[in-house]
Amino acid sequence: MLLNLTFLKYNKTPLVCVLLSLILYATFAYDLVRTEATKLVLLYLLLFVIAYILKKSAGFNFAFLVLASVLIRLIFLPVIPNLSQDFYRFIWDGRMLFEGFNPYLYTPESFIQNKEFPIAQAQELYMGMGALSASHFTNYPPINQLCFYIAALFSGKSITGAIITLRLLIIAADIGTLYFGKKLLKALKLPSSRIWFYILNPFIIIELIGNLHFEGVMIFFLIWSLYLLYSCKWKLAAVILACSISVKLIPLMFLPIFVGWFWKKKKDSSTTLRMTNLILFYIIVIGTSIILFLPFFSLDFINNYSKTVGLWFSNFEFNASIYYIAREIGYWITDYNEIKTMGKILPVIALLIILYLSFFKRNTDVPKLVSSILLAFTCYLFLSTTVHPWYIATLVVLCVFTRYRFPLVWSVVIVLSYLSYLNIGTADKSENLWIIAIEYAIVFLVFIWEVILRKPITI
């Protein structure tokens, strides 16, 4: 009893913060429609304020913050996501696998238009995912598909059951990220409390747990791989990195950056040995990735998958920055949307930046390596035609191991991109470019301050 009173005496503020967080997250999960802009933004910003106070007031009470972060995540467990409809496609793909279909070879639309219903609740899932997703082949890699299959296996014909299963998998991944992230921070002699920038971040909780985006699982494998790399277990790190790629393809663009780790790290090693290790690392990563894709392999799969991935560069546009400026210039010159042309040019510029960071930066330790990966992916997003909010989750976790804090600022102002939902159900489906301009003005200012001017920001 005395112990409990002592705990309450010295933990009043953290306990109040956790209680308020649970109430606000419950409101967000159970009583928010995505067109309620004012309510959405206020809840979001309040959660950030409370998370900041909680992190500061809880100090080094690690067990308390672990319990708080798990409880907060469990609030969302049975809830249907209110800011994303992607989960309907996840459930569709998982049930397709469960019924013995290769999900990469068929679009949902191809079945529904022919009055064929290959899975339970096919019509409901088709309507839920929307026409855009239903008309395209799936682009989710094999380990992601495995997660969808597990949901189908354990949920039967229940959509809510599938949501709970998927959410438990992402929560488990977050716990894994917490475990390996803390170990890596301690190994690097950095404050282990930094991991809370990711784990307690309301953006991460809402986008990954609430909206069921599997960046959380990809991030778990990525951080695990970086920890193994630091521990000199680079062969196993390569296997785990391939698992990360097999959840989301994003880490593929990081592969050139590992050149510096092997090539420049050990000056006492022979050139031949360093080159051999580098080549073997790439062989393991690519080989493992291919093995994971093999169960789905066919010529149709290659054709369908490449077309679907290509759409993100030449057809879709959302919450972009530099691309939107280039698009306006294109309108001014040609009177046309030049997305197909710019969708080919901008990725090339991003690739050149990645190659520069790979060969002209000394990525010889984990903080430098992670900094280069962070900057590479940031530049890629700045040049992208489509930047959905959950894309920046990778930046948020990577910044924990670096001196950069602009991803944390971005995770706050990214809420402005949600305001595009205001036009749902109206004739005007366009984004408000002034709102997007405010978002990116803040992000670019902080980016320039930290990266170009090299001025630190303390949070």
Local confidence band at 75 (pLDDT 50, 70, 90 cut-offs): very high
Q: How far apart are CA 120 and CA 117, in angstroms?
A: 7
Contacts for 400 with CB less than 8 Å, ≥ 6 apart: 181, 185, 194, 195, 197, 198
Q: Is 6 a residue whose pLDDT tops 70? A: no
Is residue 278 left, alpha or beta, with left meaning phi > 0 and alpha meaning psi from -120 to 50?
Answer: alpha
**pLDDT for residue 194:** 95
* Proportion of the chain above pLDDT 70, given as a percent: 93
Average pLDDT over residues 412-429: 71
Average pLDDT over residues 42-46: 97
Determine contact, residues 383/350, Cβ cutoff 8 Å: yes
Largest distance between two CA atoms of the chain: 76
Local confidence band at 427 (pLDDT 50, 70, 90 cut-offs): very low
Average pLDDT over residues 391-415: 98
Contacts for 447 with CB less than 8 Å, ≥ 6 apart: 378, 406
Average pLDDT over residues 33-47: 93
**pLDDT for residue 278:** 94
**pLDDT for residue 308:** 87
What 3-state class would DSSP assign to 309?
A: helix
Output DSSP code: residue 321.
S
Q: Which two tokens stand for residue 391?
A: 């894309």
* Proportion of the chain above pLDDT 90, given as a percent: 77
Q: How far apart are CA 328 and CA 330, in angstroms?
A: 5
**Amino acid in position 341:** T
Q: Which of 325, 435, 311 lies closest to 382, judged by CA?
A: 325
Least confident of 5-9, 143-147, 173-177, 319-323: 5-9
Determine contact, residues 365/346, Cβ cutoff 8 Å: no
Q: How far apart are CA 263 and CA 359, in angstroms?
A: 10
Average pLDDT over residues 381-396: 96
Sign of CA dihedral 199, 201, 206, 208: negative
**pLDDT for residue 56:** 85
Residues 247-293: tens digit of each pLDDT: 999 999 999 999 989 876 555 567 788 889 999 999 999 999 999 99
Average pLDDT over residues 47-68: 88
> Mean pLDDT of all residues in the chain?
92
Determine contact, residues 456/403, Cβ cutoff 8 Å: yes
Q: Which of 224, 247, 232, 259 lies closest to 361, judged by CA?
A: 259
Local confidence band at 97 (pLDDT 50, 70, 90 cut-offs): very high
Q: Is 415 a residue whose pLDDT tops 90? A: yes
Q: Is 301 a residue whose pLDDT tops 80? A: yes
**pLDDT for residue 2:** 46
10 Å CB burial of residue 28 (0-12, 13-18, 19+) is buried
Q: How many helices (H) and strands (E) does the chain have?
A: 23, 0
Structural element, H or E, at residue 433: helix 433-447
Least confident of 106-110, 217-221, 424-428: 424-428
List alpha helices for 31-141, DSSP H: 37-58, 62-74, 86-98, 108-112, 122-129, 131-134
**pLDDT for residue 267:** 59
Q: Which of 198, 202, 228 lies closest to 216, judged by CA?
A: 198
Is residue 454 left, alpha or beta, with left meaning phi > 0 and alpha meaning psi from -120 to 50?
Answer: left
Average pLDDT over residues 307-317: 80
Q: Is 425 a residue whose pLDDT tops 50? A: no
Structural element, H or E, at residue 278: helix 271-293
Q: Is 397 a residue whose pLDDT tops 80? A: yes
Q: Which of 389, 435, 432 lies closest to 412, judged by CA?
A: 389
Q: Which two tokens stand for residue 226?
A: 């970086």
Q: Is 67 a residue whose pLDDT tops 70? A: yes
Residue 288 CA, distance from chain mean position: 22
Local confidence band at 349 (pLDDT 50, 70, 90 cut-offs): very high
Q: Is 165 a residue whose pLDDT tops 80? A: yes
**pLDDT for residue 3:** 47
Least confident of 112-121, 315-324, 369-378, 437-446: 315-324
Residues 316-345: tens digit of each pLDDT: 889 999 999 998 888 888 877 777 788 889
**pLDDT for residue 268:** 56
**pLDDT for residue 312:** 72
